[in-house]
Amino acid sequence: MGETKVIKLKDILTERISDVVYHFTAPDAATLIINKNKFKLSPIPVGQRVDPGKKYEDGYYMSVARTKIEGYTKLVGDSGCKNVRMELDGAKMGNTLKGGPYNYFHGQHGRDDYEEYEDRVYSRKEYIDNALGYIKRIDVYWDKRCEIGFNFVKTALQHNIPTFLFAKREKWAQQSGGIEVRDMDGYTLFMQKRMR
């Protein structure tokens, strides 16, 4: 009886979105999120790829990370130029949305203790409105293969989102040593230094 209560309490404590979460995306997609003020979610998988953590039978989810760069997210940025990291207020999201920890790989890397530090945010609707209300800051690293994008930075600044540019991936990963861009002159100066 006592053991059952402990298990239920543990489930309750872990069945929520982490207080701070990170969403990785590309500059063009980030511009759409900001301009439309909404996140577009993916349909919850069915069949063999069923999501054991899903909150609804029919619904949608968004993947976010609990760390700046760890586990699965170590590779983020190498795939599709997802060099934009949005820091989100997970506690605020949790007031109206369901979610919690999720391990996509389930030990498939040969170790059951492998973790990718992912949370999933679930909704019955395809979009999460008021995205700007959840975005606390944006970190972007510059890569010759992946342009930061003039329009993206301009859009972020127009919406008063603290935006930091990083010349090195390692610094971006640590969220250390970035330059906060307060206007487009700052962006231009950053890019000029990178091109030398």
pLDDT in tens, the chain (196 residues): 444 444 344 444 556 888 999 999 888 899 999 999 999 999 887 765 566 666 666 789 998 988 887 555 555 545 567 789 999 999 999 999 998 887 666 555 445 455 557 888 999 999 999 999 999 999 998 877 776 777 889 999 999 999 999 988 888 888 888 899 999 999 888 888 776 6
Question: Residues 6 or more apart from 186 whose CB is under 8 A from it?
Answer: 179, 180
Residue whose pair of structure tokens reads 């489930």 in the numeric block: 11
Question: Residues 6 or more apart from 116 whose CB is under 8 A from it?
Answer: 65, 70, 71, 72, 73, 103, 104, 105
